[in-house]
Amino acid sequence: MGSARSRIGVLALQGGYAAHARALEELGHEAVEVRSSEGLQGLEGLILPGGESTTQLKLLGLAEMDAPLDAFVRSGKPVLATCAGAILSAASVRDFDQRSFGWLDVAVARNAWGRQVFSFEAKADEGGPFGAIPLVFIRAPRFVELGARVEVLATYQGEPVMVRQGNVYAASFHPELSDDRSVHKIVFP
């Protein structure tokens, strides 16, 4: 990627895609709202935003995007999956039987940081590539099982809140809802 303006897509079927688009624009990238498989063409990276994962799955199916999205993610281009996006990326979903794509060798538990009313802000533990970055949790999933190839990038109270496997980065929190752009900057330099 480098210093040139990169075209980064944000899946815009449902959920918090606008804040991700603003974060990308602040970093000098062109944010492209993706609503169809054609929208994936020519992108240099992709964000799978928070929202409601079962609704996102239904809308992906209606738009016939499952296979094109899977091919894009498996192409090796950088992908940032936050909250519901992390659920879609997981190998398995616990405490609620739903389909997921399996791009990350993780098991997640939906809404495991609490219901909407228990949403909170905190700071990540020191260490890792980000340090004590701000964390915004809204009905966030928990990473309850990690495969051997999954790298932990950030923790909160010793628990993984951001992981990476290959080109896929997943966060249980919402980095787009703080002023800190270090997550977007590392994924999309």
Annotation marks residue 20 as catalytic: no
pLDDT digits 0-9 by tens, 62-73: 999 999 999 999
pLDDT at residue 111, rounded to an integer: 72
* Radius of gyration of the chain, Cα coordinates, nearest whole angstrom: 15
Whether the Cβ atoms of residue 45 and residue 8 lie closer than 8 Å to each other: yes
pLDDT at residue 30, rounded to an integer: 96
- The residue annotated as part of the active site, out of 20, 29, 176, 184, is 176
pLDDT at residue 52, rounded to an integer: 86
User: Which stretch of DSSP H or E encloses residue 26?
Assistant: helix 17-26
Whether the Cβ atoms of residue 11 and residue 56 lie closer than 8 Å to each other: yes
- The residue annotated as part of the active site, out of 20, 29, 83, 184, is 83
Which residues of the chain carry a pLDDT beneath 70?
A: 1-4, 112, 114-118
Domain boundaries, the chain: 7-187
Would you say how long the chain is, in residues?
189
pLDDT digits 0-9 by tens, 144-176: 999 999 999 999 999 999 999 999 999 999 999
pLDDT at residue 114, rounded to an integer: 64
pLDDT at residue 2, rounded to an integer: 44
Can you tell me the distance from the alpha carbon of 153 to that of 133, in angstroms, rounded to the nearest whole number?
11
Annotation marks residue 29 as catalytic: no
The pTM (predicted TM-score) of the whole model is 0.92
Annotation marks residue 174 as catalytic: yes
Count Cα atoms within 13 angstroms, Cβ side, for 49: 24
Provide, rounded to the nearest whole percent, the portion of the chain with pLDDT above 90: 75
Can you tell me the distance from the alpha carbon of 124 to that of 9, in angstroms, rounded to the nearest whole number?
27
- The residue annotated as part of the active site, out of 20, 29, 174, 184, is 174
The fourth-level CATH superfamily of domain 7-187 is Class I glutamine amidotransferase (GATase) domain (3.40.50.880)
